[in-house]
Amino acid sequence: MSIKKIRLGFLQLLLLVSYAAVADHHAGETIANTDKDIVSIAKGWIKTRATNQASTAAYVKAHMANSGVINGGRYVGFGFVFDPENAGRMVVTRIVDASPASKVLKVGDEFVEVNGVEVNQENMDKLSFRGKPGELVSTILVRVGKKMPIAIARGVISNLYGKAVLLTEIAGANPDNWGVDEITIHESVRKDNVVYVWSEIKDVDWQSKLPYESHVVTRFVFDDHHRITRVGELQEDRFVLEQQGFQISR
C-alpha cells in the first residue's frame, strides 16, 4: 500500500490515537540492528517509505518485528479495505478484525450500490460508509456472481494489522502512485524504547491531482533488539481534504 493510500486510509478525519507499548520477547526472530540507534531507524522508516515500493518492503522486512503491529487509526464505518484503483470497482481486499464487516463480508465481495447510490469511480470516496455509529447502511453486493442485499450498522473501527498484511499491501500497490514529492523531518524525540518523529509531506493527490501539504507525527515502539513492534500516526487528514476543496458535513 502506498503512503498515499495509507494517508487516504480511506478519508479519515483527524485522529488522536494512543498506543500501548509491546514488551513481549519475540522468540524465533532474527536479532539484528543491535548496534544502531533507534532514532535513526525510525527516521529511516519515514524517509524510505516516501521513496519507492521495493525499498519500503525491504526496510519493513529488515526493521519490523514479526509480531509488529500497524495502528491504522480509529474511524466510524464498516471496517474493510478496497483498492481504489480497481477501475471503478469496490472489491473487498481486507476485512478488519472484530469490525461490523467481519460479521457479514468476505474478501472478494464487490459493492455495487450503497444507500441507493450506484458505485462508480467518481463517487467511491463519497458513499455512506462513514457517519454516526449504530446507523444501518443498506447495500447491494456481488458475491460469487450473485447479487445480495446486506444492511450493516456502522461501528467504531480500530484498524490494527500486522507485518504480513503490511507487506502484502505493499506488494499489491501500484508502484506508479508510490512516494511523495517532498518529505522533511523536522524533529525526533526518544524516551526509552519509544520514538516520535515529526515530518512534513508536500505532494499531489493521486486522485484529485491537486497539491497538498501535511504534518505527520509518527510514534514507534521498539523491542530490546531494536526491532519495531508498533507504528501509529497522527495526521492532518481534514486539512489535506480541505486543501483539495472537500467539505466535512453531516
Indicate the domain borders of the chain: 3-73+160-243, 79-153
**pLDDT of 25 above 50:** no
- Are the CB atoms for 77 and 129 separated by under 8 Å? yes
Quote the mean pLDDT of the chain: 83
Rg (CA), the chain: 19
DSSP secondary structure of 150-193:
EEEE-EEEEEEEEHHHHHHHHHHS-GGG-S-SEEEEEEEEEETT
What was the pLDDT predicted at 167? Answer: 95
Domain 3-73+160-243 has CATH 3.10.450.50: yes
Please classify residue 181 by burial: count the beta carbons closer than 10 Å to its beta carbon, then call 0-12 exposed, 13-18 middle and 19+ buried: exposed
What was the pLDDT predicted at 245? Answer: 84
Fold of 79-153: Pdz3 Domain (2.30.42)
How long is the chain?
A: 250
* CA distances for 221 relative to 34, 56, 209, angstroms: 15, 18, 34
Q: What pTM was estimated for this model as a whole?
A: 0.73
What was the pLDDT predicted at 126? Answer: 78
Q: Looking at 23-37, 170-184, 220-234, which range is the least confident one?
A: 23-37
**pLDDT of 189 above 90:** yes
